[in-house]
Structure 1
């Protein structure tokens, strides 16, 4: 967690999260950019950590992204908001799993399968 994130409003943090997801989405077709994809993943974890430090309501603000136009944004938001909004996150994952969207549908199906095996696997 950086001081930069600590100084941001919740809306700014949500925007940083969304932009990191969009950058990841652009990289899904270029597997050689795994390093950049992983750097964006670290941004998601840092934002989650900052929201978590501000309490459950702050973390629940990620729910705004469950309706985003981009499937990668919805997927990441669902996995990161799951501990504080299980039903909404699970519904989003089910919706993603039911349509064919490159890579995201598969990851949503695998996440749902894992949740059946280990219900608290997303409680991070």
Structure 2
């Protein structure tokens, strides 16, 4: 839970929360804590939606995370940025896919396939 509600947090606080959630997701994946991962997924969606809602679509504040050392953070940032920075986001997803580190490589590969075949259209 965020110390401040998402609508009162600064963009920088939302980015920091995004990273924190991504790191916690990474940990939850490796201990197979599905309940925790699902809760964190919803929290990340709240942060994404709040950034998108902000004037000028502040998801662009996540661009620096496309080089984050943690694959989960990098992949989630790339997924979030596909609608507003598709070339950079796709390159980041390709890098995660090509890392061969699972489950992120598989998730990134599936996202790229869905983009290619049109079953996923970023918004």
> Does the alignment reach a TM-score above 0.5?
yes
Alpha-carbon RMSD: 1.7
Could you say which residue in structure 2 is the equivalent of 1:51? 51
Q: What is the CA–CA distance in structure 2 between the aligned matches of 1:80 and 1:72, rounded to whole Å?
A: 12
Change (3 A) 1:21 1:118: same
Q: Secondary structure at the match of 1:40?
A: helix
Could you say which residue in structure 1 is the equivalent of 2:122? 123
Q: What is the CA–CA distance in structure 1 between the aligned matches of 2:118 and 2:93, rounded to whole Å?
A: 16
Deviation (angstroms), 1:57: 4.4
TM-score (norm 1): 0.90
Q: Secondary structure at the match of 2:100?
A: coil
TM-score (norm 2): 0.91
Deviation (angstroms), 1:39: 0.7
The one-character-per-residue Cα deviations of 1:56-92 (angstroms, maximum 9, x if unpaired) are 4411111121111100000001001111111110000
Instruction: Name stretches of at least 5 consecutive residues in structure 1 with no aligned partner.
Output: none
Moved more, 49-58 or 17-26: 49-58
The yes-or-no answer on 1:14 pairing with 2:15 is: yes
Deviation (angstroms), 1:102: 2.1
Q: What is the CA–CA distance in structure 1 between the aligned matches of 2:112 and 2:75, rounded to whole Å?
A: 11
Deviation (angstroms), 1:122: 4.5
The one-character-per-residue Cα deviations of 1:16-42 (angstroms, maximum 9, x if unpaired) are 0110010010011222x1111011111
Instruction: Name stretches of at least 5 consecutive residues in structure 2 with no aligned partner.
Output: none
Could you say which residue in structure 2 is the equivalent of 1:42? 42
- Moved >2 Å (runs of 4+): none
